Homo-oligomer: A and B are copies of this chain.
Amino acid sequence: MSRNIYLESTPLHEALSKWLQRLDSGLVMRPLSGEKIKVTDSLGRVTAQAVTADISSPFYHSSAMDGYAVRFADTFGATERNPKRLKTGEEAVYVDTGDPIPDRFNAVIMIEDVNIIKAKSKEQSSEATATEYIEILSPATPWQHVRVIGEDIVATELILPENQKIRPVDIGAMLAGGHIDVSVRRKPKVVIIPTGTEIVEPGSDLKKGDIIEYNSRILGGLVCEWGGEPVRFRIIPDNLEELKKAILEAYDMGDLIVINAGASAGSEDFTAKAIKDLGEIALHGVNIKPGKPVILGWVKEKPVLGIPGYPVSAYITFNLFAKPLLYKRQGIEMEEPEILRAKMSRQAASVIGQEEFLRVKVGKVGDNFIATPVTRGAGALMSLVRADGFVRIPAMSEGLGAGAEVDIELMRSKSEIESTIVCIGSHDNALDLLANILKKRFPGFSLSSAHVGSMGGLMALKRGEAHMAGTHLLHEETGEYNVPFIKRLLTGRKIILMNLVYREQGLIVPKGNPKDIKGFKDLTRKDVIFVNRQSGAGTRLLTDKCLKDIGIKQGDVRGYEREEYTHMGVASAVLTGIADTGLAILASARALDLDFIPVAKERYDLAIPHEFIETEMLRRLIKIIQEDSEFKNIVTALGGYDVSDMGKVIYEG
């Protein structure tokens, strides 16, 4: 096993400036050459040279009104008392808006301002052959109601400068200025080489050890969004010679070569070696998390990027090191990400010495933007899908305390964030359905839920970090759900408690129940491993009550200390053999086709502070909960739910 674990750990700003300098000295920071395309196909492209008007617009004097073209000198002296007559066809000619003004005329009188008069001269015997005149009551001024040549665009005038991204109106102006072709920057091409013996194409028959290749599609999508053209190379196995051949083959296919992955220093990581053999490595290893093992390299006259394999690392490093190049090559400036100032809802520790890119969800609760970190693993693609933005934690920081003010680089617009209902608390599968139905009915609104348990949800309401909390806390003494806890934890706050569902909790076991688990008493068996929920979860309280009821000590349950944060997490642990059983709702067992031993029926409510009830987004959501039959039906179809009180206000105070 040959390993080279000595990656550099260059600070990000140093790495970036080194990379940009290397690109600059390699002459690839200059805009690409132009290519001639049809103006009508140029939307979103970037001009490669200034566009000046070939012809004026309008290119002839034209009427700006429906009316009569006249010589203004002929109209001198016309008044209401002394109207003036002009002979049509000779001294006045009818023109529609846009019609050219005949050469000898230099003003237009609006149709509304003339009287048309037929007058017979001595020689004319009938009305039909009578001469027609227009009668006017005031003089015209020179060039009135005339769009003179070049009024909009004068020939030779600058229509668009070089390096201008072309918008719909720019297309119109170029056509009006007499152009049918335009020289635009060639789109920068990025060749993306996916590597890895274990990598397979989406849609393949999967076997253990296979990894579906999707990073190249994420990177390709980003290239498109940045105005470039992605070229996806075939998958290359972990083999130094094949990788080198691939780089040389890719060389003529694009302006930047990206190898994903093999950028680390493992026994099968050949990217650095391949680049070094063919060219040079400017830098290997940047002091960021995730994304450390990035390679900035150079082969002959082209930049070659080695991008780490974990999707979050790939996304971050590609944004940092490829995006500036793509913009420079098009001759345009990168747009600054929208920055939002927010407060951290909870602490996020960070390792000193590495700059961390923390993904966060953001919600606006009352007047405050609240940021909550999502899963931090570099392999957690869904953390990117769900994130609203990034917080950068500087290398020399130990992390962020709860309540810390942070600047978030947004991945969603601020207005989307403002239209998001923040639900923190206990997880229930019905919440996912509710989120989807809300988005379906009212695309402008979203429901975002964070799963921290019932107790955590009520505490979030208390701290003003959520619009609502899902809760199913059983009060042991009174046997009452939720209300005693709200009274105690949210003293003085006006809270509405609304039922969402009653649901069945039970022990989830593998299909066919191979270990023949019948109930909580089996949890003391040596061959049974349990999976628990986190403290503060209603399900955890239920577990503890069940154990206490039959006199089992927590220490006697194998796996009691392994905590999951959702019902699906528990079901998944059972499905995959991490545990033999765990307490969760029927819907999660159904979802993964597992068996279920009923333990209790419980009430799952939503607690909503009174001040949010009348916001438009909450009103929409409550309307769905109370009235939407499709929602009721799909929740019922999940199994284990009783929706008879759905939307009923249980408590208000």
**Which residues on A are within 8 Å of B, measured CB to CB?**
1, 3, 5, 39-40, 43, 50, 55-62, 64, 66, 94, 96-100, 106, 111-112, 142-143, 147-164, 167-173, 175-176, 178-180, 196, 198, 202-203, 206, 208-209, 211-215, 217-222, 224-225, 264, 266-268, 309, 311, 315, 331-333, 335-336, 377, 379-382, 384-385, 413, 415, 419, 432, 435-436, 439-440, 443-444, 446, 562, 568-569, 571-573, 575-576, 578, 591-592
Contact = CB atoms under 8 A, between A and B. Distances in A.
Given A214-B176, A381-B176, A171 B59 contact: no
Contacts of A178: 212
Which residue, A56, A143, A379, A446, has most C-beta atoms of chain B within 10 A? A379
A110 to B, nearest CB: 11
Contacts of A169: 218, 221, 311, 315, 381, 384-385
Contacts of A220: 168
Given A66-B267, A94-B1, A142-B562, A171 B592 contact: no
Contact of A569 (B154, B267, B572): B154
A149 B379 CA distance: 12
Contacts of A225: 43, 168
B380 A149 contact: no
Contact of A439 (B40, B163, B382): B163
A98 B382 contact: no
Contacts of A572: 56, 148-150, 154
Contacts of A94: 1
Closest 4 CB pairs of A and B: A168-B221, A175-B214, A149-B576, A333-B444
19 contacts: A57-B212, A62-B209, A98-B196, A100-B209, A142-B562, A154-B569, A161-B446, A162-B439, A168-B222, A173-B214, A173-B381, A173-B382, A173-B384, A173-B385, A175-B217, A176-B214, A178-B212, A331-B443, A335-B413
Which residue, A142, A143, A217, has most C-beta atoms of chain B within 10 A? A217
A439 B164 contact: yes
Contacts of A151: 377, 379-380
A155 B592 contact: yes
Contact of A180 (B5, B203, B578): B203
Q: How many chain copies does the complex carry?
A: 2
Contacts of A64: 379
Contacts of A149: 572, 575-576, 578
A561 to B, nearest CB: 9
A511 to B, nearest CB: 14
A311 B175 CA distance: 12
Contact of A221 (B153, B171, B413): B171
Contacts of A97: 264, 266, 309
Contact of A147 (B96, B198, B379): B379
The main secondary structure of chain A at its interface with chain B is loop
A211 B173 CA distance: 13
Contacts of A153: 381-382
B154 A568 contact: yes
A381 B147 CA distance: 13
B161 A436 contact: yes
A351 to B, nearest CB: 16
A57 B379 CA distance: 10
Contacts of A432: 157-158
Contacts of A172: 214-215, 217-218, 311, 381, 384
A45 to B, nearest CB: 12
Contacts of A202: 39-40, 175, 179-180
Given A151-B377, A175-B212, 5 more contacts: A40-B202, A58-B211, A170-B385, A173-B385, A336-B415
A332 B60 contact: no
A164 B435 CA distance: 12
A100 B208 contact: yes
A190 to B, nearest CB: 13
A11 B264 CA distance: 64
Nearest to A166: B221
A477 to B, nearest CB: 36
Contacts of A162: 436, 439-440
Nearest to A384: B169
Nearest to A179: B202
Contacts of A43: 221, 224-225
A203 B38 CA distance: 11
Nearest to A442: B333
A24 to B, nearest CB: 14
Contacts of A439: 161-164
A159 B57 CA distance: 52
B206 A266 contact: no
Nearest to A571: B154
Contacts of A221: 43, 167-169, 171
Nearest to A221: B168
Contact of A198 (B99, B176, B332): B99
Contacts of A152: 377, 379-382
Contacts of A268: 96
A162 B435 CA distance: 10
A208 B333 contact: no
A589 to B, nearest CB: 11
Contacts of A164: 439
A180 B215 CA distance: 14
A57 B381 contact: yes
A98 B211 CA distance: 8
A6 to B, nearest CB: 12
A163 B443 contact: yes
